[in-house]
Amino acid sequence: MWTPDILWQDARFVVLNKPAGLPVHGGPSGGVSVEDCFAGLGRKGRGPWLAHRLDADTAGCLVVALRRAALLAAQAEFAAGRAEKLYWAVVHGAPPQPAGRIAAPLGKRQDRAGWRMVVDPQGQPAETFWRVLGAAAGMSWLELRPRTGRTHQIRVHCAALGCPLLGDTRYGAPADGVGLHLLARAIRLRLTPEVQAIAPPPEAMLPALGACGFRPPDPG
């Protein structure tokens, strides 16, 4: 059983700090998932519900609604693109400029190796803003603000910029023996009252982040 790490909560929502490698839903073969902790968060038969999704390999802020009205309000924010989502990633190389925007539609492709998302002019619109926060030999620390919520959007967009994420062998990174370096760093929903949370970087990302200039806050 996974013991949830709660970053923020009120009577409507909790924001969980999801570990990398933990799926939000239980799969057909079983195994631990975020939903396993729901019985301890809400009222029997009346929630909780996931307000959005994170890939299993992505760590960080995950919003869970405790009431039906809160769920509908949050889903409306995500669907309208009003939810403010900020991600941190460590990538191989660097994007072509210190900051910028990529608008590249994404579609799903199936082949013998399985499915993956690809840049496809006929796909769904997808837009991501990026900014370089630091760099080291051969890698960069990026802040990313996706304006849409397509599957694997940040991973595909970074690969399209020529700088795939560390640990992302699906989208072009070499096999470097590390997990995916992607953190849902912060979330903000402009509801009344607001929902806002920040997730600390997971231990697995700290060496690469530190090499790129990140310094954790002084606990004192």
Contact residues for 14 (Cβ-Cβ < 8 A; gap 6+): 4, 6, 8, 41, 48, 63, 64, 66
**DSSP letter for each residue of 17-29:** EEPTT--SS-BTT
Contact of 199 with 186, CB cutoff 8 Å = yes
Contact of 138 with 92, CB cutoff 8 Å = yes
Query: Annotated catalytic, 55?
Result: yes
Q: Supply the DSSP symbol for 124.
A: B
Catalytic entry in 55, 111, 120, 176: 55
Active site (catalytic) residues: 55
